[in-house]
Amino acid sequence: MAKAARKGGNGGIAKSDPYAGAAARKGKGGKSANNIFKMNTDIGQHILKNPGVAQAIVDKADLKQSDIVLEVGPGTGNLTTRILEKAKRVIAVEQDPRMAAEITKRFQGTPAAKRLELILGDVIKLPELPYFDVCISNTPYQISSPLTFKLLATSPSPRSCVLMFQREFAMRLFAKPGEKLYSRLSVNAQMWAKVDHVMKVGRNNFNPPPQVESNVVRISPKNPRPQISYDEWDGLLRIVFVRKNRVLRSGFLGTSTVMEMLESNYRTFCAQHDIPLEDGPSEAAMTEDMDVEVEAQDDEWDGIMDVDEDEDLPDFFKEERDKKAEKAQGNPNRKRKGKVAELVRSKVKKVLEVETQLADKRARLCDEGDFLRLLYAFNQEGIHFS
């Protein structure tokens, strides 16, 4: 009878199997070997580790051999490898220098290295995106909203964008009027693109696992694009969705920062078109303005952040609000409105109450057609949002 293999000092591994011994030693240190560095979850670093999910995402992008693909947040390159197998070129934007070094090392010396361009930086802060046909992204959750808006505004439009999002955010893309998640994001996404659900992705498919479940969606920009100004359209939506539970009359006429912005824009419009304006103090606007603001106080409002946690109050409103608060501390008396402000106010009332008859409707119940009617009517009156 053959003698049993002698056990060495490697946890019971026989000396006759040196490869098994090496595997055991690697297994003991496997945790440190696989974790090259600690993931920074503060900037959304959750690496997709399931190769089946990664392959499915790339397959759903329906890539062509001539495509240039923009990948946001490539991480260690698990998606990048599969994209390079099908596309002509990949432009990867990575914020973390450690990740950028890792993906560079991964492809160094391979034929694919020449087809990979790495941009180190924050994709949101890039002045403009390079040309690309398709965008694929395991999106850091913190930039989901600004990235979506940046992609929707890109010109020329990409053919499609296959993006991984936090499940609740993805559901906002599909939300309809009256639903809890209906927001500025919903209207914008559905105005400029066709949105399809691709798949659900559980948290255990990532390393480290995030606290939430994920969904993959495909955003296909409409071609041709709707013939309206993106800045004008989005400017209108920013105003009406600051407080989506208020009626539109209160959202416009009962919000002084909105009226001040529209007055400023109207003055610019008149100056550009050589339209004379009669300026000076007005006696009629004071009482009317106070009445509308009292009405606004009775309207339902769940707070600005009820709209979207990542879609806060526009900077213009913040600055004007802070300036007004400082002035109010030293001067409790309200400033009397001028003739131009009164004129703008009358135009806004005309649009809301006569032209569109949407004054008493809430933003969360308005659909795309309602917002288009509003934008057209405001523009006809010389009122602009950009």
Measure CA of the first residue to CA of the last residue in the chain; give whole Å: 90
For 26, counting Cβ atoms within 10 Å of its Cβ (0-12 exposed, 13-18 middle, 19+ buried), the class is exposed
Residue 131 has pLDDT above 70, yes or no: yes
- Tokens read off for 177: 């009027």
The dihedrals phi and psi of 266, each to the nearest 5 degrees, come to -70, -40
pLDDT the model gives residue 29: 42
Residue 230 has pLDDT above 70, yes or no: yes
Residue 305 has pLDDT above 60, yes or no: no
Residue 92 has pLDDT above 70, yes or no: yes
Tell which CATH classification among 3.90.105.10, 3.40.50.150, 3.90.1150.110, 2.40.50.1040 matches the domain 41-221.
3.40.50.150
Report the half-sphere exposure of 87 (CA within 13 A, side-chain side). 29
Question: Per-residue confidence at 279, pLDDT binned at 50, 70, 90?
Answer: confident
pLDDT the model gives residue 280: 76
pLDDT above 70 covers what percent of the chain? Answer: 74
pLDDT the model gives residue 366: 97
The CA-atom distances, in angstroms, between 338 and each of 53, 254, 315, 333, 344 are: 61, 17, 25, 15, 10
41-221 and 230-380 have identical folds: no
Q: Which residue has the higher pLDDT, 241 or 39?
A: 241
Weakest mean pLDDT among 92-106, 180-194, 213-227, 273-287: 273-287
Binding annotation? 46, 48, 73, 94, 122, 138
pLDDT the model gives residue 336: 55
Query: What gap in Å lies between CA 297 and CA 374, rounded to an integer?
Result: 24
Identity of the residue numbered 30 = G
Residue 164 has pLDDT above 90, yes or no: yes
pLDDT the model gives residue 282: 66
pLDDT the model gives residue 309: 38
Residue 158 has pLDDT above 90, yes or no: yes
H or E element at residue 89: strand 89-94
Per-residue pLDDT tens digits for 310-355: 444 455 555 655 665 555 444 444 445 789 999 999 999 999 999 9
Q: Where are the domains of the chain?
A: 41-221, 230-380
User: What average pLDDT does this structure show over 249-265?
Assistant: 94
Residue 4 has pLDDT above 70, yes or no: no
User: What average pLDDT does this structure show over 196-212?
Assistant: 93
Residue 284 has pLDDT above 90, yes or no: no
User: What average pLDDT does this structure show over 357-372?
Assistant: 97
Q: Which residue has the higher pLDDT, 33 or 70?
A: 70
Q: Rounded mean pLDDT of the chain?
A: 82
The answer for residues whose C-beta is within 8 angstroms of residue 345's C-beta and 6 or more apart is 253, 259, 285, 288, 289, 337
Report whether 249 contacts 197 (CB < 8 A).
no
**Class for domain 230-380, per CATH?**
mainly alpha
Handedness of CA 166, 169, 175, 178 (dihedral sign): positive
pLDDT the model gives residue 285: 46
pLDDT the model gives residue 6: 42
pLDDT the model gives residue 320: 56
pLDDT the model gives residue 11: 40
- Tokens read off for 328: 């109010």
Residue 130 has pLDDT above 90, yes or no: yes
Per-residue pLDDT tens digits for 9-45: 444 433 344 334 433 443 444 443 344 556 655 555 7
The CA-atom distances, in angstroms, between 359 and each of 28, 42, 165, 247, 249 are: 69, 42, 35, 7, 5
Residue 297 has pLDDT above 70, yes or no: no
Residue 303 has pLDDT above 50, yes or no: no
Binding annotation for S-adenosyl-L-methionine? 46, 48, 73, 94, 122, 138
